[in-house]
Every structure is written in structure tokens, then in C-alpha cells.
Structure 1
Amino acid sequence: MTMSQLEIQNIDQTVLLWLDDLQKDTISAMRHHLQVGTKHDERDLVTNVDKANEQKINALIRSFDVNAKIVSEEGFGDKPTAMNGHVWFVDPIDGTMNFVKEHTDFAIMIALYVDNQPVLGWILDVVDNVVYHGGPKIGVFANQLRIQQPGDDSLAEGVVLLSGARLLYGMFGYDQIAKAALGYRVIGAAGPSFIRVITGQAVGYSSKMMPWDFAAGQVLAKTLGLIVSDIDGQALDMLSSNIVLVATKRAHRDIVELHKS
């Protein structure tokens, strides 16, 4: 089903209102005692805020878009096997380690896909209270300021962002990619890393991600003419984990070639 620009703008504005409330709640919760647990290992943290935010967002989506399916991190969503219809992706706290230990470089992310096509994405930089949002039909904005397409710098001309764990062990050619770049950084969260690429601060970013980690960033990046793929240059599977690469066209070509070599 094709949605009009007006329908898409109305959805965008509705989610921005949700995120305004979530930003205030998350900052307030961060200033009080966090209940911190672990999931798969001691570095895979989860807090009461992750769970509370996801429950709030999912309830709002289910009320607003009653037939939609939800793919979300903390287990309160659905388990769709296909991308038909409306599919929402929710990351209630992206970068939980940063949230708990650094109190910066974390985000809240939401995305809407319709029949497997990217429609809208939202990445909320919680600390700075800036929402990066939009999609193919309306463009991309930082709050109300339109973002222009970033330049097409090569890998050698810019900073690349990489997964720290995989860089440490030289996986996926990350060590060679870091050496070939003008500089490299490890942020430790997908949302803040996508923000740096779409705003032109970095020429590329790669990490292993789950769908809720990359769904919103993919919408915004593709709208701005950036390339989003797996590390081999193939389309992403929206319902499973991927080694994701987002980059300028020239940096994307450079990185894929280095990975394959």
C-alpha cells in the first residue's frame, strides 16, 4: 500500500511527540538509580529503562497502527517471518553500555517499513535532545533543520567508525580498513554512529547489528544517497543479524574491496 506524503508527515509528527516524552523520561531515569542486568554475557547490559521504553513505544505503536508488526530488542514485540504490511522496528536504548557507564552516545531508535520498503526512521540523540528523522518522501531532518546529502569522500579522506571487538580481533578486514582510513573511531553504539555518517562527520560505519540496530539508520542514510549493505555489498536481511556497512559511495567501494581482499 502506497502512502501519501501527507500521511507520512502525519506519522512523522506523531512519533516526534512520542520521542519528546521519551527523552524527558529517559533523562530523568538516568539521573536516578538504574537497575542494571545482563543478557548474553557481562558486557551485554540491559536496564529497567530499556524495558520500560520498549513497553511504552510498543503500546503506542499498537494503538496507532493496530495491524502492524513490531520487531524490538527486549522481547515485547512480535516475531514476523516476512516484511509484508507495516513493520516497525524499536531499539529502546541503543548503546546501553554507554548509557550506563558514560551517560552519552546512546539513542532511541524507531523505524517504519511498508512491504519491505523504508518509509520513515527516527534516531533520538537523547542527551542533546536532537531527533534525526525522515524518509524518502520527505527528506531528512535534525529536529526541524533539513540535512543535506554529505560529500562523497573516499575512505582515505575521512574517519571510519568500526565495531571495537571485531577490530580488536581483525575480523571482516576491519584492521585493514582502519589502516586505510584517514582515521578511525569506536563509538560503541549504532545510532550515534549512523548520525555521524549521515551528517558527514564520518565516511563509513560497520558493525554486526540486529534489525533494530540498523533499521532507522538505513532509512535516513539511503534517503541521503549513502550506501547501506552487508560487508560484501549485498542487500540486508531485515529480519536477522547482518554485518552492516553504511558509507559514502566511494568509501563503500573502498571498504568492500578491502574486506574481499
Structure 2
Amino acid sequence: MKLEPLKIQHDLVAWLTVAGDKIRQSLTEELQVNTKSGRNDLVTNRDKEIERFYVNQIRTYYPEARIYGEEGLGDEINDLSGLIFFVDPIDGTMNFVKQKENFATMIGVYLDGEPIVGGILDVMAQRLVVGGPQTGVMLNGRPLSKRPSLDIKDGLIGVNSRMLSENINQVTDLIRLSSGARITGSAGVEFSQVIMGKQIGYISNLSPWDVAAGWAIASALNIEAHTIAGQRPSLLKREIIIAGIPTVWQNFAKLQS
């Protein structure tokens, strides 16, 4: 299958920009809020509306592609063959509902399991990071460089709150080695912080649509993503992901032994 990564990147920028405008314009409107797996796992009518918008765009311009969306409006995905768009219409729905900030909308694109391009829009900050291994990475149209190597003591790490409070997989011990922890409740916002060089890592229990966009972008910037076993993200199930510059994984792995 012949792909044009720059064209896909251009399309992602256009779609994410439209979606961001739609979400911001809707903030004064009444939301329909429901729960999914529990009281802290929320979904709104806006999540479904934005995913439906993305699905329609992908079906129109990439009819050969499959879609793995958080709200289930795409396809059932059991393998990574072919072209797949991973869609998270509103990442950080709790923040969207409660804070009206610190949430993102994002799309990751993969071919046979390999990253092609990703895009993450911090909706309220209007900060768009987009790119991939073949296209380079842009922040609001400005190119970003590969992340330099740092000692773990010199950087901040984004982390899942439960993993930090309960020291799951020695995450609390890892944070003590760093400059400190940051918790936002949005994988997209956290990945963006790592991509922009404001944090050196991010650790959380993530679904495929949570990690796909960030990993696609980060793979162009000397930023790694591992499972606890040291493998690549499967992109097929929920799993703990350790993303960051190499020193983050190196120190995490030492603490597991």
C-alpha cells in the first residue's frame, strides 16, 4: 500500500483544528454526561459527536483504512494489519466536564503496526503537535528537534495518580529519583509535554487510542515507549506504558528487578 505521510499529516491538522473549534464552541452548551466502566469513566454527547466527525472524514478520504475509536463508532480491531486510524475524540473527558481545560483530541495512524503520523491538539491551549518518523514533528507549525538525553534527576515525569499513590510497579520510587511528578488526567496532554521537552517521561495504564498518537509522534524524537515487559505497545489492549527519553525506561527497569 503506497501512503503519503505528509498528506495524512495535512489531513490530521485540518480535522483536529475543526474538531477543536467544535469542542470550544460547545462549552457553553448543556452536556449529556454518562458513565462507562465506572463513575470516573465519563462519556459525553460531544465525545460521540467528534468521533463521528473523524469517522466520516476517514471513511471519505481513506476508505481502505480501519478505525479504532474509543467510543466504538469505528471497526472491531483484533490485529494491526493494514492502515489503521486510532481515534480519541476527547482525551481527558473528566477534565473536559469538570475543569473545561487539560483535555485533548487526537489521532494516530499506523500501517501494519508501524507508526506513520500522529496528531494531538490540546484543545483549550490551542497547541497542536503533529508528525511522525518520515515527516518530522511540528508544534503549531514550528519544527521540533529530537529530545536531548538527561539524567533522570533533572526532569519531571507525568504519572497516573493511582500508580503514584500506591507505588504500583515502583512508580513512586522512580519519581523520587526525578525532579518530581506531574498529573493532568489526559494522556494526550502528558504526551505533548514529553514531546515538547517539558517532561522527560509519562507512565500510565493506557488503551490503544490513548497511546497511538503520542507514540507515533514521539518515535521521531528519541522518545521511547515500552510495556512493563520492555516490549513495544501492543495497540490491541489496555496496558501500562512507560514513555520517555531512554533514561526513564532504564531507571524503571532497574526498579523492577
Provide TM-score, normalisation by structure 1.
0.95
Map of 1:126-205 to 2, 5 A cutoff? 126-205=123-202
What is the rounded CA distance, in whole Å, between the counterparts of 1:61 and 1:232 in structure 2? 33
Q: Match for residue 26 of structure 1?
A: 23
1:224 matched residue in structure 2: 221
Any unmatched runs of 5+ in structure 1?
Answer: none
**Partner amino acid, structure 1, of 2:49:** A
Letter in 1 for 2:129: Y
Deviations 1:15-37 (A, max 9, x none): 21112211111001122211111
RMSD: 1.2
Displacement of 1:251 after TM fit?
Answer: 2.1
Which residue, 90, 98, 116 being the options, matches 2:87?
90
Q: Distance in 1 between matches of 2:198 and 2:63?
A: 38
The runs of at least 4 consecutive aligned structure 1 residues that moved more than 3 Å come to: none
User: What is the CA–CA distance in structure 2 between the aligned matches of 1:48 and 1:112, rounded to whole Å?
Assistant: 24
For residues 78-136 of structure 1, the C-alpha deviation after alignment (integer angstroms, 9 at most, x for no partner) is: 11221111011000000001111111111001011011110010001111212100111
Q: Distance in 2 between matches of 1:241 and 1:152?
A: 29
Pairs within 5 Å for 1:68-87:
68-87=65-84
- The corresponding residue for 1:247 is 244
Q: Secondary structure at the match of 1:75?
A: coil
Partner deviation per Cα, 1:152-199 (whole Å, 9 max, x = no partner): 112211111110022122211111112221111111110000011111
- Give the match's secondary structure for 2:118: strand
| Structure 2 unaligned spans of 5+ | none
Amino acid at match of 2:153: A
Q: Contact 2:132 / 2:218 at 8 angstroms: preserved in 1?
A: no
1:59 aligns with 2:56: yes
In structure 1, the residue matched to 2:232 is 235
